[in-house]
Amino acid sequence: MIGRMLSVELLKIRRKLLWMLAALGPVGVIGLQAVNYGLRYDYLMKLYGDSPWEGLLRQVGSLMLPALFIGLALVASMSAGIEHQAGAWKQLLALPVTRLQVFGGKVMLSLLLLLSSCTLLLLLTLGMGLLLGFDSQVPWAEIVRQSYLPYLAALPFIALQSWLSIVMANQALPLTVGTLGMVLSMFSLLMPVWMPWGWPDRAVRSADALQAAGSGLALGVLVLLIGYAHFARKDVS
């Protein structure tokens, strides 16, 4: 039934800007790197001459993580904002659907949109490397890891932003939390390993990338359960 609710959510955003927003992040990241390579190509080739693909992935990764944090906040807020702006939560919950299905449909929509962003980033990174003439063997494993493991590591924040955006009519606080997460992610190298804001970066750069992704998945499920428990008991207007 959650799958049916997801289908309904997809119909709701058919004429919205959410798909464009999901594409804007990876397009912006690769666009900025295109400018970066256009202006500093010789320097970057000298710096990463022995491993040009590694250099490209490092450059893309430096912009990808802040984009992921602010993107997940905007996607969750705009998804929940459809009901908040129309004052339609009571009407929605009066339908023959459970609160679990409603909550799950909203969360699944955010997860799907962000997964689409990660997939688009993978394709654009690959395309940029090929256009730059990197004729060495394509490091598929590294490209896939960089595109998807940070997504898993960021699941606690996707869950948190979905929860806050659903239960709060005023989206100022959820967006503030998302902006704060983006800022904190820029200092991830200074954080101890137990802080979740550093997990997406560890999923890109560290040897324990799988551990960071697994930690994000586990904490994300826990946050989702707490968020649903709150939503299930909350009065809506």
pLDDT tens-digit series, residues 118-176: 999 999 999 999 999 887 788 898 999 999 999 999 999 999 999 999 998 888 889 99
pLDDT band, residue 2 (cuts 50/70/90): low
* pTM of model > 0.85: yes
- The token pair at 92 is 């929605």
Number of H helices, E strands in the chain: 10, 0
Work out the average pLDDT over 63-71. 90
Answer yes or no: are the C-beta atoms of 212 and 145 closer than 8 Å. Answer: no
Check pLDDT > 80 for residue 217: yes
How many structural domains does the chain have?
1
Residue ranges making up the domain that contains 73: 2-233
| Cα distance between the two ends of the chain | 24
pLDDT digit string, tens, across residues 169-206: 888 889 999 999 889 888 887 888 889 999 999 888 76
* Cβ neighbours around 177 below 10 Å, total: 16
